[in-house]
Structure 1
Amino acid sequence: MEKIIKENNLSSKKITIIAATKNQNINIIKKAISIGIKEFGENYIQESIVKIQELKNYKNIVWHFIGKIQSKKTKIIAKNFDWCQTIDRNKIAILLNQYRPKNLLPINVLIQINISQEENKNGISIQDYQKLAELINVLPNLNLRGIMAMPEIKKNVIDNQIQYKKIKIIFEKLKKQYASIDTLSLGTSLDIKESLLAHSNMIRIGQSLFNR
Structure 2
Amino acid sequence: MTEPTVSESLAAARQRLAEALSAAGRPMADARLLAVSKTKPAAMIREAWHLGQRDFGENYVQEALNKQDELTDLEDIVWHFIGPLQSNKSREVAERFSWVHSVDRQKVARRLNDQRPASLDPLNICLQVNISTEASKSGMSLAELPALAEAVLSMPRLRLRGLMAIPAPSKGLEAQRAPLARLREALEELRERFPEAPLDTLSMGMSDDLEAAVMEGATLVRLGTAIFGARQRHE
Q: Same fold (TM over 0.5)?
A: yes
Q: Give the % identical residues.
A: 34
- Name the residue aligned to 1:79: 95
Note if contact 2:174-2:212 (Cα within 8 Å) is conserved in structure 1.
Answer: no
- Cα distance in 1 for residues equivalent to 2:162 and 2:169: 22
Per the TM alignment, residue 150 of structure 1 is displaced from its structure 2 partner at its CA by 0.7
SS at 2:79's partner residue? strand
**What is the root-mean-square deviation of aligned Cα atoms in Å?**
1.3
- Name the residue aligned to 1:5: 21
1:115-134 aligned within 5 A: 115-134=131-150
- Name the residue aligned to 2:38: 22
Per the TM alignment, residue 175 of structure 1 is displaced from its structure 2 partner at its CA by 2.3
Structure 2 unaligned regions, length at least 5: 1-15, 231-235
TM-score of the superposition, structure 1-length normalised?
Answer: 0.96
Note if contact 1:88-1:111 (Cα within 8 Å) is conserved in structure 2.
Answer: yes
Amino acid at match of 1:198: E
1:51-70 aligned within 5 A: 51-70=67-86
Note if contact 1:175-1:182 (Cα within 8 Å) is conserved in structure 2.
Answer: no
- Name the residue aligned to 1:162: 178
- Cα distance in 1 for residues equivalent to 2:216 and 2:147: 24
- Cα distance in 1 for residues equivalent to 2:96 and 2:173: 40
- Name the residue aligned to 1:109: 125
- Name the residue aligned to 1:44: 60
Per the TM alignment, residue 104 of structure 1 is displaced from its structure 2 partner at its CA by 0.8
- Cα distance in 2 for residues equivalent to 1:63 and 1:139: 21
Runs of 4+ in structure 1 deviating by more than 6 angstroms, as ranges, are: none
Q: Quick one: which of 75, 78, 93 aligns to 2:109? A: 93
- Name the residue aligned to 2:210: 192
- Cα distance in 1 for residues equivalent to 2:180 and 2:118: 37
TM-score of the superposition, structure 2-length normalised?
Answer: 0.87
- Cα distance in 1 for residues equivalent to 2:204 and 2:23: 19
Per the TM alignment, residue 48 of structure 1 is displaced from its structure 2 partner at its CA by 0.1
Per the TM alignment, residue 155 of structure 1 is displaced from its structure 2 partner at its CA by 3.4
Structure 1 unaligned regions, length at least 5: none
Note if contact 1:15-1:200 (Cα within 8 Å) is conserved in structure 2.
Answer: yes
Greater RCO, 1 or 2 (C-alpha within 8 Å, sep 6+): 2
Deviations along 1:119-161, whole A, 9 cap, x unmatched?
0000011110110000000000000000011111223655433
Amino acid at match of 1:175: R
Note if contact 2:85-2:102 (Cα within 8 Å) is conserved in structure 1.
Answer: yes
Per the TM alignment, residue 211 of structure 1 is displaced from its structure 2 partner at its CA by 1.3
Deviations along 1:140-193, whole A, 9 cap, x unmatched?
000000001111122365543321211110111122324311111111112100
